[in-house]
Amino acid sequence: MFDLFRQRPQTVAKWHQLYGRFVQIAPGQVSVSDVNAMRDLYSTSKRNPKSDYFDHFIYHNARSIFAEKQHQDHQHKRGLLSSFYQATSVYKPDVQQPLRDRVLAAVIRIQEAISQDVSGNRIVDVFPIINHFAWDNTTALVLGPHHCSQAVQGDESDRDLLARLKNIELWGAVKYNLPLIFHAMKLAMAVYTRSTKYFSAEHDLDTWAMQRIQLAISDPKVSSNRSIVQIILDLRRSGRSLSDDYLASEVIDNLYAGQATVTVALTYVVYHLSRNPYWQSMVQKELDDLRQESDGLPDWTALNKAPTLEACVLLLGLPHVITTLHNRLPGSEGSLRGFLPSCNCLTGSQLLASARVSSSLTQSRLDFHPPHLPSVYSTTTIYRHLPPYEGARTGPL
């Protein structure tokens, strides 16, 4: 029922607080909030495959890196795009400068919203601004700068798509875990609104992505623009057999993942900082001490090493992004730090619970104590045990 009421992360985290690091959350399902057990679960040496849950993320009958279940297949596809996500690639000026321009545009929108607040409370709904910012950055990295969205700058079609995509994200757990109820909800909403638009964002995003892919493929400049499309097309030219369906699946999966991850993480970071003036002052002082570029923003290399800001992102944003991952653990060899699930037991990692239970830093969701920052990194290591594209795993336990 926690899926129906959209309370899975909160409910499971509460159970961990009551019952400990390993909790059975449903028949055949176990949640893990133990840092060392997570390391075992996601260790590449274990070669634990993912669960059938990842069949939900097949697009155009092809599996992206994220959707590959077997360790060997996952590693093979990961090798195709791994160079794109290296710091030496992402931090280059042709990628960084457009991102900095969008930061400035988003800040201007926030300032305008504050100035237009007639209530005098200086309260701003930052979610849509952050959502537009995340979407534009993601589409630029995936499709290239000439075929990306322009939501921050005011493209109404992009903004409408994102507003409706939020409806799907809101009911995602119901869709995947309670499909019959979800279809009943879709039917009821269509009857009530006399339109299928409320839950149409997935179809529309697919259509939008396929149109942009075709434009990018036919663009002679695409080979000089750093993007996922460009890398896959270059691999094709070098003789790799990569189908159009695989290209589409990788593009769509990265669009979903990038937009959702960045939006949720940034929204929670901004929200928590807005409620804690002391943390705001610490972050502000740290930013003021950094060398600035000509656009008035901090130097990226220095910003990327700012410890207080990194702690904000890791401890206030990421637990909400990667909260409950789905894993299938068949077999009977070994255990997770002394805990032995039964064969074919679906096991998930509960990072929100780990952040709360295993750390003395947080006393509650809204209470974080900056004086304890020297011990932050003993907690943030839990996120570094989860490599990119990983997700759930199955392993011999």
- List, for residues 105-150, the tens digit of each pLDDT value: 999 999 998 888 777 777 889 999 999 999 999 999 999 999 999 9
Say which residue the tokens 């255990």 belong to.
Answer: 335
377: Cα separation from own chain's centroid: 21
For residue 371, pLDDT over 50 is answered with: no
pTM of the predicted model, to two decimals? 0.82
64 assigned to some structural domain: no
Pair (354, 323) in one structural domain: yes
Pair (240, 287) in one structural domain: no
Q: Enumerate the β-bridge partners of residue 59.
A: 62
* Crossing angle of the two packed helices 127-143 and 228-237, in degrees rounded to 10: 10
For residue 204, pLDDT over 80 is answered with: yes
**Radius of gyration of the CA atoms of the chain, in A:** 22
Can you give the pLDDT at residue 332?
40
Can you give the pLDDT at residue 42?
72
Residue that terminates a domain, selected from 252, 275, 298: 275
Pair (320, 372) in one structural domain: yes
Can you give the pLDDT at residue 129?
96
152 assigned to some structural domain: yes
Say which residue the tokens 């030219």 belong to.
Answer: 237
Can you give the pLDDT at residue 290?
94
Sign of the four-CA dihedral 273, 277, 282, 285: positive
Can you give the pLDDT at residue 339?
55
Task: Summarize the confidence of residues 202-207 as an average pLDDT.
Answer: 96
Percent of the chain with pLDDT over 70: 79
Sign of the four-CA dihedral 186, 190, 193, 196: positive
Question: DSSP state, 238?
Answer: T
Is 355 buried (19+), middle (13-18) or exposed (0-12) by CB count in 10 A?
buried
366: Cα separation from own chain's centroid: 21
Task: Summarize the confidence of residues 331-352 as an average pLDDT.
Answer: 55
Higher pLDDT, 77 or 362: 77
pLDDT band at residue 397 using 50, 70 and 90 as cut-offs: very low
Q: Which range (2-11, 324-333, 359-368) has the least confidence?
A: 359-368
Per the structure, how many domains does the chain have? 2
The span from the CA of 4 to the CA of 273, in Å, is: 30
Can you give the pLDDT at residue 381?
44
Can you give the pLDDT at residue 344?
56
Pair (21, 77) in one structural domain: no
For 14-129, strand residue ranges (E) read: 22-26, 29-32
Residue that terminates a domain, selected from 275, 295, 328: 275
CA distances from 182 to 54, 172, 196 (A): 18, 9, 14
Residue that terminates a domain, selected from 226, 255, 275: 275
Pair (38, 105) in one structural domain: no
Phi-psi sector, 274: left (phi>0), alpha (psi -120 to 50), beta: alpha
Query: What does the mean pLDDT of the chain come to?
Result: 79
141 assigned to some structural domain: yes
35 assigned to some structural domain: yes
DSSP structure string for 256-294: HHHHHHHHHHHHHHHHHHHT-HHHHHHHHHHHHTSPB-T
For residue 87, pLDDT over 80 is answered with: no
Pair (110, 259) in one structural domain: yes
For residue 382, pLDDT over 70 is answered with: no
Residue 298: domain span: 1-51+277-397
pLDDT band at residue 1 using 50, 70 and 90 as cut-offs: low
Pair (364, 396) in one structural domain: yes
393 assigned to some structural domain: yes
Pair (134, 10) in one structural domain: no
The span from the CA of 140 to the CA of 148, in Å, is: 5
Pair (283, 255) in one structural domain: no
Percent of the chain with pLDDT over 90: 38
Can you give the pLDDT at residue 23?
83
Can you give the pLDDT at residue 384?
42
Task: Summarize the confidence of residues 249-272 as an average pLDDT.
Answer: 91
Can you give the pLDDT at residue 61?
95
Can you give the pLDDT at residue 349?
62
pLDDT band at residue 156 using 50, 70 and 90 as cut-offs: very high
pLDDT band at residue 162 using 50, 70 and 90 as cut-offs: very high
66 assigned to some structural domain: no
Can you give the pLDDT at residue 358?
42
Pair (99, 159) in one structural domain: yes
368 assigned to some structural domain: yes
What values do phi and psi take at 41, rounded to 5? -65, -40
Pair (306, 334) in one structural domain: yes
C-beta neighbour count of 139 within 10 angstroms: 26
Element (H, E) at 347: strand 345-349
DSSP structure string for 136-179: HHHHHHHH-TTSS--TTTT-HHHHHHHHHHHHHHHTHHHHHH-H
For residues 151 and 259, the answer to whether their CB atoms sit within 8 Å is no
Amino acid identity at 197: K
Pair (201, 294) in one structural domain: no
Can you give the pLDDT at residue 123?
83
58 assigned to some structural domain: no
Considering 37-46, 331-340, 361-370, the range whose residues carry the highest mean pLDDT is 37-46
